Chain A
Amino acid sequence: MLDAETPGALPRDPAGALALLERMQLLRAFEEKVAELYASGQVAGLVHLAIGQEATAVGVCGLLRPGDTVYGGHRSHGHALATGADPERLLAEIAGRVSGYARGKGGSMHLVAADTGFVTATGVVAGNISLALGGAFAAQLRGTGGVAVAFFGDGAGQSGQFHESLNLAALWRLPVLFVCENNGYAEFSPLSAHTGVERLATHAATYGIPAVTVDGNDLGAVREAAAVAIQRARRGEGPSFVECLTYRLRGHYEGDPAKYRDRAELAAWRAKDPIERLAGRLADAGLVDAEAAADANRRARAIIAAAADAVLASGPAPAGDLTTDVTA
């Protein structure tokens, strides 16, 4: 297990604490906007939202520094945003507009924001995990002290890629952080339908990787665990595994009525909303009062509203781009 001694879960200064809260609010506002645009037909395709899971993305990415790299999956709008990617260009990419990061050629499941170290997302469950090893390998070979982060769900834990990657990362002591966002479901079925293993973190022990399971809706807990893991990686001590127990408050994809889970379960997780919990905790600590939190939320929503206006004013993905960027 990871060392329980923590290098400070939450910032003690009001500005640092507020910045984290505002980043989570930004993710929430962004994805609510995506849902709205999807409902109005401005966004097409398969769209997976991570509303309710913002603490994992912000908790981990808030600890990274320039040169670190992040690799997401199909539910990774928030991971990209948490690295500092431009919300307008991300939204434009998801909406298939020319102003998107890839001028619409990637889309929701294949976001790339190379400028902030968000190397890639993938539509192939677990396909990003080994890619993250490559980022870590490059950092190790060059001695940069850089760290690579792979975000994946509980569903990825049953794939061969996952197990091969854990073994290889441990064998080569790669500076990689495996972040499993265990939201209890893969598509329409619970984890128990996929594996007899209750906690994905237990797989890490097989490969000699330090691991911990934390409350993924508690930003402080995520940061504590991630900080220890990142420190280990930077010191050349190899990979770590952080399993974050969380929940997606919407369906698997937009349009999924999510009839496979009951109202009581949903209500219980709504009560554990990571943004409200953080706001409450910061207020209790005297760091950010309710008014400052509300102001931050208004700012986040204004940023997203402006981004959406710009996206809708931007042109469609141009036909001339269809055959470019296939090879150099």
Chain B
Amino acid sequence: MTATEIRMVDAIREAMRAELAADPSVVLLGEDVSVGGPFGATKGLQDEFGAARIRDTPISEAAVMGLAVGAAAAGLRPIVEIMFMDFATLALDQLVNHAAKLRYMSGGQLSIPLTVRMQAGASGAFGAHHSQSLEAWLAHVPGLKVVAASTPADAYGLLRAAIRDPDPVVVIEHRALYWGRGPVETGEAAIVPLASAVVRRPGIDATIVSWSRMTVTALAAADLLAAEGIQAEVIDLRGLQPMDTATVLASVRRTGRAVVAHEAVGFGGLGAEVAARIGEDAFDALRAPVERVAAPFTPVPAAPDLERAFVPDAAAIAAAVRRTLARPDPRRRSLEEGR
């Protein structure tokens, strides 16, 4: 099928529409989903698939998530929309203690094919309760899968893969990307495997690992660096749990330098995991310590100026890449010391 340019929010809707049409066990649950929610991601689906399968829920995140887990255990494929990822806190018991563990605790008797869409990220001055990036919490839980798209095509392909997956998958959607357009194919071939990182831009001097909105920022940083003659390779992780570390390691073995950039705060963030993996498995290839670019360790501020300061920008990522390049090559140094 030929690709058309559509917005990410429309790609998300098209992915749900395709799976709702293909499989009568797919249902959608969320607050005000019948009218599309605050961002229009579900608009029109109730008209097409009926109120029995497209359900508006009360503001009861815990009960709704629990209901979805129970429905998944009974063989349905529920999609739950968490309007803002910040509100996942209210449903963590059902997600972390039940959805994630029922396959294991039952010794494989149960399967929980649940998809949880969470709109996330800092943009538009929404403040501390409508802006967080909490992916590290969820990726830390055995039994949950976590993905985040940076393009409309991936938003489509990953969401369809998530709905078909036999396990609970959290799909993180960045609000700042919802209205960006990109080419989207809509067939089966456009489905993206959950744990498949992709090289967005090839380069030989340093590897930038990122996901979600930070991939867009990383690509802008690569443009800045290119003007200086530095060729940065940009990897879009896409799958956060499980994580395609093979693609990351292969790149770092080529470039010898790595920067991990994410919008979540740095401490305990997934950047630490990526850095640790590189340290464990590609230490011999490193010519500089792995750099992390992340938000400062604060709640997300409301004022637009502060929010801008909170979210890492292209300049910060480019500066981190330059720092890795400015380091004396430790191998050369030891050669010199040995002389």
Contact = CB atoms under 8 A, between A and B. Distances in A.
A119 B101 CA distance: 13
Contacts of B74: 69, 119, 134-135, 137-139
A137 B66 contact: no
Interface stretch (B92-100, B117-125, B172-180, B215-223): B92-100
A71 B107 contact: no
A167 B107 contact: no
Given A71-B70, A139-B74, A168-B57, A112 B63 contact: no
Interface stretch (A41-49, A158-166, A273-281, A300-308): A158-166
Interface in B30-74: 52-53, 55, 57-58, 60, 62-74
Nearest to A98: B107
Residue among A107, A135, A137, A148 having the largest count of chain B Cβ atoms under 10 Å: A137
Contacts of B75: 138
Contact of B67 (A105, A122, A168): A168
A210 to B, nearest CB: 20
Interface stretch (B108-116, B250-258, B315-323): B108-116
B73 A168 contact: no
Nearest to A133: B67
A130 B110 contact: no
Contact of A137 (B70, B107, B111): B70
A167 B93 CA distance: 19
Interface string A96-118: 00001111111100101110000
Contacts of A127: 66, 93-94, 97-98
Interface string B141-152: 011010000000
Contact of B106 (A101, A130, A135): A101
Contact of B167 (A119, A161, A165, A328): A328
A103 B107 contact: yes
Contacts of A122: 97-98
B66 A130 contact: yes
Contacts of B63: 129-130, 133, 161, 164-165, 167-168
B267 interface: no
Interface stretch (A23-31, A215-223, A319-327): A319-327
A138 B111 CA distance: 15
A182 interface: no
B110 A134 contact: no
Contacts of A171: 58
Contacts of A133: 63, 66-67, 70
A90 interface: no
A114 B76 CA distance: 16
Contacts of A321: 107
A101 B145 contact: no
Residue among A123, A135, A167 having the largest count of chain B Cβ atoms under 10 Å: A135
B106 A114 contact: yes
A205 interface: no
A102 to B, nearest CB: 3
Interface in A118-145: 119-120, 122-124, 127, 129-139, 141
A106 B105 contact: yes
Contacts of B67: 130-131, 133-134, 137, 165, 168
Interface size class of B (residues with CB under 8 A): 35 or more
A138 B65 CA distance: 14
Contacts of A139: 74
Interface in B142-168: 142-143, 145, 165-167
Contacts of A113: 109
A141 B73 contact: no
Contacts of A105: 104-107
Given A124-B97, A141-B27, A167-B63, A328 B70 contact: no
A114 B105 contact: no
A200 B66 CA distance: 21
Given A106-B107, A164-B60, A130 B94 contact: yes
Contacts of A137: 67, 70-71, 74, 76
A168 B108 contact: no
A181 to B, nearest CB: 20
Interface in B276-324: none
B230 interface: no
Given A101-B107, A141-B52, A112 B102 contact: yes
A296 B265 CA distance: 64
B66 A112 contact: no
B103 interface: yes
Nearest to B57: A168
A167 B60 contact: yes
B66 A120 contact: no
B60 A168 contact: yes
B45 to A, nearest CB: 16
A119 B106 CA distance: 9
In the A-B complex, the 3 residue pairs with the smallest Cβ-Cβ separation, listed nearest first, are A134-B70, A130-B66, A102-B107
Given A130-B65, A165-B67, A328-B166, 20 more contacts: A102-B107, A104-B107, A112-B106, A112-B110, A114-B110, A119-B74, A129-B63, A130-B94, A133-B67, A134-B68, A137-B70, A138-B74, A141-B27, A141-B53, A165-B63, A165-B66, A167-B58, A167-B60, A167-B63, A168-B58
